[in-house]
């Protein structure tokens, strides 16, 4: 059974700000290759971190809302951990989308 998830990815775009759209398109295809069906992609622009916990002081935030089997999440974590352009990732299960009643 497919569940709804939200995946927040922080991209390392330092020195590559002009290629952000290409990176997001590639990541969207990676989600689909693993069996996820994307509902929405929210590009939240570049933001500074409240504290620097690593090499970067900020990153480009992108939020993917998608449906997938629970096993897909672990596959995505492993895949994106190896991707040099994905700095951080976080996944959260969302409530099922409610059907709109027509009057």
10 Å CB burial of residue 1 (0-12, 13-18, 19+) is exposed
Return the pLDDT at 70: 93
In a domain, residue 62? The reply is yes
* Spans of the chain below 70 pLDDT: 99-103
Host domain of residue 63 = 3-94
The domain tally of the chain equals 1
* 8 Å CB contact between 36 and 67: yes
In a domain, residue 101? The reply is no
Write the CATH number for 67. Answer: 3.30.70.60
In a domain, residue 50? The reply is yes
In a domain, residue 100? The reply is no
Residues 6+ apart with CB under 8 A from 35: 68, 69, 72
pTM score, two decimals?
0.85
């Amino acid at each position: 059974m497919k569940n709804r998830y939200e995946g927040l990815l922080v991209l390392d775009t330092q020195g590559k700000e002009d290629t952000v759209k290409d990176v997001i398109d590639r990541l969207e295809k990676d989600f689909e290759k693993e069996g996820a069906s994307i509902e929405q992609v929210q590009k939240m622009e570049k933001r500074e971190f409240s504290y620097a916990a690593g090499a970067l002081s900020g990153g480009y935030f992108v939020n993917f809302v998608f449906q997938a089997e629970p096993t897909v999440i672990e596959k995505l974590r492993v895949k994106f951990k190896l991707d040099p352009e994905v700095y951080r990732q976080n996944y959260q299960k969302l409530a099922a989308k409610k059907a709109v009643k027509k009057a």
